[in-house]
Structure 1
Amino acid sequence: MPDIIETIVYRFEELSETARDKARAWYREGGFDDDWYDAVYEDFQRIAEILGLDLKTHAVRLMGGGTRQAPCIWFRGFWSQGDGACFETFYAYRKGAPGRIREYAPQDSELHRIADALQAVQRRNFYQLRAEASRRGHYYHEYCMGISVERDSPTYQDMTADAEEGVIEALRDLARWLYRQLEREYDYLSSDDVVDEAIIANGYTFTEAGQRFG
């Protein structure tokens, strides 16, 4: 005959502080939603559009067997050397970008600086610069972006001497900015207060030692 084993389970708020730490560790390892970064991605897509970036997309398979198009944005973090974020995009001048980015993100001086840098280098090239960024290699950081810059001049004028470097550095700075937003979001979602709230809201139960039950 099967044995019946009784186990006393505890709600999170009933655990000792040591057991709570174990419960939090369990949640951080496996309790995060797969799409925790979606809000950051959505914000970045809006910012990219304002700055003149047309993000490339790739097919993502859905649970039902279909596919959807997702932006070519990747990251890895947040603890190892070489972690970072990158993206694939086409870039062309977008009129009014510095003013529009200040309306969208009035407190973000780094975004203002990036928009101003792109505006300045475009001005020196009569707003004819175009660029393409593609991911290369097996890592996910700003230097994994292969970026080509050209001037779409009807009279075949060359770029100014600083044009290529200016656009490349601005796009890489934007990748660095994105990584910082992802890191900030992760730190917030994995903070004790937010983790505690999520565990309690989901009604998870644990053993006295803080091991997830069931």
Structure 2
Amino acid sequence: MSKIIETTVYRFDELSDAAKEKARAWYREGGFDYDWYDSVYGDFQQIAEILGLRLKTRAVPLLGGGTRQKPCIWFRGFWSQGDGACFETFYSYEQDAPHRIRAYAPKDAALHGIADTLQAIQRRNFYQLHAEASHRGHYYHENCMAISVARDSPTCQDVTADAEEIVIEALRDLAGWLYRQLEYEYEYLTSDEAVDAVIAANEYTFTVNGRRFG
């Protein structure tokens, strides 16, 4: 025989503090099944272009058939050994990159330093350096980037003694910068303030102990 069971449900702001914590935990566990990092990736692509990087792309399938090109950027995070971010790219000199990066991100000293470092080593090599970075291994952090550096000299001059090390370190520093931005974004999206706002906006309801209803 069927039964009718009545349950009283509550809006998030009607819950006790303990029930709110349980409701937040429910959202954090399943609320990130979307590409929440897209805005960080988009910002990074703009920065990469300013610095002279041409990110490699890969084809990803679409639900309706066909494919689209997606930049070769990866990360894993945020609290385990081996976490980090990396990317695949071609790099060459980009004129006025230090000035342009300051216009784009005026308060980001880390980016300013990377741009200045690349500018200085390019100057010592007559702006002829180019590099390629590819992912290797099973992890996704800056040391998983295999980076080769060469010089496109019409007189076959080799790179200066320090050029390879400096370019490699700058590109890996940029991967570290990207990871920090992803971490900041995730910490913001999972903060109590942000989670509470999403739950309220979606008008989710809960039982008295904070269990999601329905």
Same fold (TM over 0.5): yes
Quote the residue 1:156 is aligned against. 156
Paired position in structure 2 for 1:209? 209
Q: What is the aligned partner in structure 2 of residue 108 from structure 1?
A: 108
Shift of 1:55: 0.2
- The aligned residue for residue 89 of structure 2 is 89
- TM-score scaled to structure 2, two decimals? 0.97
Alpha-carbon distance in 2 for matches of 1:2, 1:152: 80
| Residue deviations 1:105-153 (CA, integer Å, cap 9, x gap) | 0100100000000001111111111100000011010000000111111
Query: Separation in 1 of the partners of 2:20 and 2:31?
Result: 15
TM-score, length-normalised on structure 1? Answer: 0.97
Residue 130 of structure 1 is matched in structure 2 by 130
Give the letter aligned to residue 8 of structure 1: T
Query: C-alpha distance in 2, partners of 1:209/1:179?
Result: 36
The reply on whether 1:178 has 2:178 as its aligned counterpart is yes
Q: What is the match of residue 63 of structure 2? A: 63
- 1:132 aligns to what SS in structure 2? strand
User: Which runs of structure 2 are paired with 1:184-199 in the superposition (5 Å)?
Assistant: 184-199=184-199
CA shift for structure 1 position 4: 2.3
Aligned partners of 1:15 and 1:138: how far apart in 2? 44
The residue aligned with 2:167 is 167
Distance 2:81 2:176 in 1: 14
Q: Does 1:16 align with 2:16?
A: yes
Query: Match of 1:60, SS?
Result: strand
**Percent sequence identity over aligned pairs:** 77
Equivalent residues, number? 214
The one-letter amino acid paired with 1:124 is: R
What amino acid does structure 1 have at the position aligned with 2:29? Answer: E
- 1:26 paired to 2:26: yes
In structure 1, C-alpha distance between the alignment counterparts of 2:31 and 2:66, rounded to whole Å: 26
Q: Which moved more, 1:59-68 or 1:184-193?
A: 59-68
Segments of 5+ residues of structure 2 without an aligned counterpart are: none
| 1:136-191: CA deviation from partner (whole Å, max 9, x where unpaired) | 01101000000011111111101000000010000000000000001001111111
Whole-Å separation in 1 of the counterparts to 2:11 and 2:65? 38
Structure 2 Cα separation of the partners of residues 2 and 90 of structure 1: 66
